[in-house]
Amino acid sequence: MVLRRHKRSQSGFGEAFFGIESVENAAIADVFDEMAELMEFRSENPFRIRAYRGGAQAIRDLDEPIAEIAKDSNRKLADLPGIGKTLAEKTLVLLDTGRLAQLDELRKAVPQVVVQMARIPGLGAKKAAKLKEMLEIESLDDLKRACQEGTVRKIKGFGAKTEQVILDGLAIAQQAAERIYWAKGDQLAHQIGAHMDQCKSITQMQWAGSYRRGRESIGDLDLLAVANDRGAAMDHFEAFPGRSQTIARGETKISIRVAGAFQVDMRLVEANQFGAALQYFTGSQAHNVHLRRIAKEQGLKINEYGVFRNEQELQIAGDTEQSVYQAVGLRWIEPELREDRGEFQWAQQNELPKLIELSDILGDLHMHTSATDGKATLHEMADAAIERGLRYIAITDHSKRVSMASGLDPKRLRQQWDAIDAMRGDYEGRLLILKGIECDILEKGGMDLPDECLAEADWVLASVHYGQKQPRDQITERILGAIENPHVDCIAHPSGRLINRRPPYEVDMEAVMKAVVANKKMMELNANPARLDLNDVHLAAAKRHGIPIVISTDAHSIDGLDVMKYGIKQARRGGLEKANVANTKSWNHIKKLLTP
């Protein structure tokens, strides 16, 4: 039986097909997440729900295939942090049979459309279930149509006012269910932060949550603040020009909507609690649970109000985050690492990585010009690179297979390289311009340009743009073939995903990484906020394998060069240090890394 990573659809997660030889960790994690959601909807045991959510996250965070662990007679799934006996058994069932009877029962008891309707503000679970039963609602579109036709108001307990509440809430529910790119969240955070900086009542302020940890997409923003006048601080927050709605306002917390439906919360705390609150609300949940366990073993208690000695309830730390970690004998841990993926062991052994910084980057090895689908010329991209302090760049326009981008055939490519040769003298001592190409890996296998052409390049990226729905084995073999090509240097955006828009194609990433090591090649972290490919878990695996990572912008314009910072954020989540990233080194050093 062949596993295919299933896609979540409007009606649920759909049918999952599993086979132990090719299982994707995320597919099993999705199943456990869905079970937790449906169990929560039915108000089942919260500890069991938490166990499924924790197990899903633990499996998703593994930097090696769970199927490989299951096949290893010397290892037990139940010994993995966050898994346990029950989830280990269910994982083996999924690997063996491809389904769980318990999940099938939950799906029958709680149709996905009922869950979706219950998220509409002002509706709730009971009314959602009643609408499903009375009107045979199968989708949110069905519900919208029923409201527009006046059908909902005819049901006892509803009425015209409820219809309008549903119509108003539908757009919010649909938009609020969508996570936004971290890059978009970063823009909002800077806009709101600049607005709040003008509030004289606020003495301390910091963003928390998944935004601070650098998750590639975020569901909301959390602002933490200390204020002399809380009412004035909330008034100023509520006066943000981009606010579309105030969701709730209390004594210590206010929630608003911006950019249509995106939620932003502000919490106000005391100054002596700020560090503890910042640590707590930054998360992740798994990180915080582990930290509290360490504190408990030392007779301490950590919560959002501070660090306390259990017996006397005496606060001993909490004004700063550093004091919270110091109280339990740990160094401060960078927010991007707080996912309970080994950071506590590193902290205890004084081995926390010194995470890469944007200033460490010396060159950009993936960008496009107006010769294909870029917006700027060779000279314009080179000048913009100098303005950003880069020492070298590679011009990597598309090869001919990408016809929609006017990809280059050997003749046009060599003409571009001649132009680069001609302009190099003008940039000598300021910028090294490399003759490169982003060469497609063909659907049938092999490269889009002949070897004698690729041999003339300084830098060759290999990428998959077509045939992304091919079977796992076929796509894997295509990429392995490219890695074995002596002229290919790096695999670009290795999984092909587009966040929230297109899932990664089926590929055996572990096999790809082993081949990259064997052939002394590199892998790209594409910094485009829609890609961030490799993801953080794959980056951790690449680091484990010793694979040099190239963080590239894939810029198609001058402004596109500025997305490098998003790639750096992703690299930090993967635990990468300066030494793990090839383009923190000189071009001569990179060439040595590629030498067989």
The pLDDT-based confidence of 595 (bands split at 50, 70, 90) is confident
* CATH code of 496's domain: 3.20.20.140
> What average pLDDT is seen over the chain?
89
Q: Among 327, 348, 369, which residue terminates a domain?
A: 348
Share of the chain above pLDDT 70, in %: 94
* CATH code of 196's domain: 3.30.460.10
Residue 356 near residue 396 (C-beta atoms within 8 A): no
Q: Does any domain span residue 65?
A: yes
d(CA 318, CA 291): 14
Q: Which amino acid is at 398?
A: H
The pLDDT-based confidence of 325 (bands split at 50, 70, 90) is very high
Checking if the pLDDT of 513 tops 90, the result is: yes
Residues 367 and 284 in one domain: no
Checking if the pLDDT of 271 tops 70, the result is: yes
Find all residues with CB under 8 Å of 126, minimum gap 6, and list them. Answer: none
Q: Which amino acid is at 68?
A: E
So what's the pLDDT on residue 312? 66
Checking if the pLDDT of 207 tops 60, the result is: yes
Residues 371 and 333 in one domain: no
d(CA 133, CA 113): 11
Supply 76's token pair.
């037990």
So what's the pLDDT on residue 17? 37
- CB atoms closer than 10 angstroms to residue 10: 12
Q: Does any domain span residue 396?
A: yes
Checking if the pLDDT of 3 tops 50, the result is: no
Q: Does any domain span residue 8?
A: no
Residues 389 and 521 in one domain: yes
So what's the pLDDT on residue 211? 97
The pLDDT-based confidence of 175 (bands split at 50, 70, 90) is low
Counting Cα atoms < 13 Å in the Cβ hemisphere of 388 gives: 25
Checking if the pLDDT of 4 tops 60, the result is: no
Residues 365 and 343 in one domain: no
d(CA 433, CA 382): 8
Which of 8-12, 288-292, 348-352, 403-407 is predicted with the least confidence, judged by mean pLDDT?
Answer: 8-12
The pLDDT-based confidence of 96 (bands split at 50, 70, 90) is confident
The pLDDT-based confidence of 23 (bands split at 50, 70, 90) is low
**Which has more confidence, 361 or 110?**
361
Share of the chain above pLDDT 90, in %: 63
The pLDDT-based confidence of 69 (bands split at 50, 70, 90) is confident
78-101: average pLDDT: 86
Residue 217: strand pairing partners = 181
Checking if the pLDDT of 101 tops 60, the result is: yes
Q: Does any domain span residue 297?
A: yes
Secondary structure class of 219 (helix, strand, coil): coil
Checking if the pLDDT of 288 tops 90, the result is: yes
Secondary structure class of 396 (helix, strand, coil): coil
pTM for the whole structure: 0.78
Q: Does any domain span residue 9?
A: no
Find the helix or strand (DSSP H, E) in which 569 lies: helix 564-573
Which of 110-124, 141-155, 209-223 is predicted with the least confidence, judged by mean pLDDT?
Answer: 110-124
**Highest mean pLDDT range out of 54-63, 387-396, 404-413?**
387-396
Residue 170 to residues 127, 159, 165, 175, 312, Cα–Cα distance (Å): 14, 17, 8, 9, 50
Secondary structure class of 316 (helix, strand, coil): strand
Residues 37 and 133 in one domain: no
Checking if the pLDDT of 339 tops 70, the result is: yes
pLDDT per residue over 113-139, tens digit each? 887 787 777 777 778 888 888 888 888
Let me know if 378 is exposed, middle or buried by CB neighbors in 10 A (0-12, 13-18, 19+).
buried
Residues 486 and 538 in one domain: yes
Eight-state DSSP code of residue 22: S
So what's the pLDDT on residue 9? 31
Residues 76 and 209 in one domain: no
Residues 158 and 233 in one domain: no
Supply 47's token pair.
């500890």
So what's the pLDDT on residue 270? 97
Sign of CA dihedral 331, 332, 337, 338: positive
Q: Among 94, 109, 124, which residue terminates a domain?
A: 109
Q: What is the chain's percent helix, strand, coil content, to nearest 5?
A: 45, 15, 35
Eight-state DSSP code of residue 13: S
Q: Among 74, 109, 144, which residue terminates a domain?
A: 109
Residue 206 to residues 183, 190, 223, Cα–Cα distance (Å): 17, 11, 6
Residues 259 and 278 in one domain: no
**Which has more confidence, 204 or 262?**
204
Residues 297 and 426 in one domain: no
Find all residues with CB under 8 Å of 435, minimum gap 6, and list them. Answer: 394, 395, 416, 417, 420, 421, 456, 457, 458, 459
Torsion of CA 291, 293, 298, 299, to 10 degrees: 110
**Which has more confidence, 77 or 432?**
432
Counting Cα atoms < 13 Å in the Cβ hemisphere of 466 gives: 17
Torsion of CA 497, 285, 207, 226, to 10 degrees: 170
Q: Does any domain span residue 18?
A: no
Q: Helix 84-97 vs helix 25-41: angle between axes, to the nearest 10 degrees?
A: 120
Task: Please choose, from the candidates 537, 541, 563, the residue with its C-alpha nearest in 3D space to the C-alpha of residue 551.
Answer: 563
* CATH code of 87's domain: 1.10.150.110
Residues 394 and 526 in one domain: yes
Find all residues with CB under 8 Å of 351, minimum gap 6, and list them. Answer: 345
**Which has more confidence, 469 or 438?**
438
Q: Does any domain span residue 190?
A: yes
So what's the pLDDT on residue 257? 87
Checking if the pLDDT of 20 tops 50, the result is: no
pLDDT per residue over 514-539, tens digit each? 999 999 999 999 999 999 999 999 99
So what's the pLDDT on residue 260? 64
Residues 186 and 171 in one domain: no
Number of domains in the chain: 5
d(CA 102, CA 226): 47
Q: Does any domain span residue 547?
A: yes
Please spell the DSSP secondary structure of 117-174, one letter per residue.
Answer: HHTSTTT-HHHHHHHHHHH---SHHHHHHHHHTT-GGGSTT--HHHHHHHHHHHHHHH
- Enclosing domain of residue 302: 273-348
Torsion of CA 204, 207, 209, 211, to 10 degrees: -170
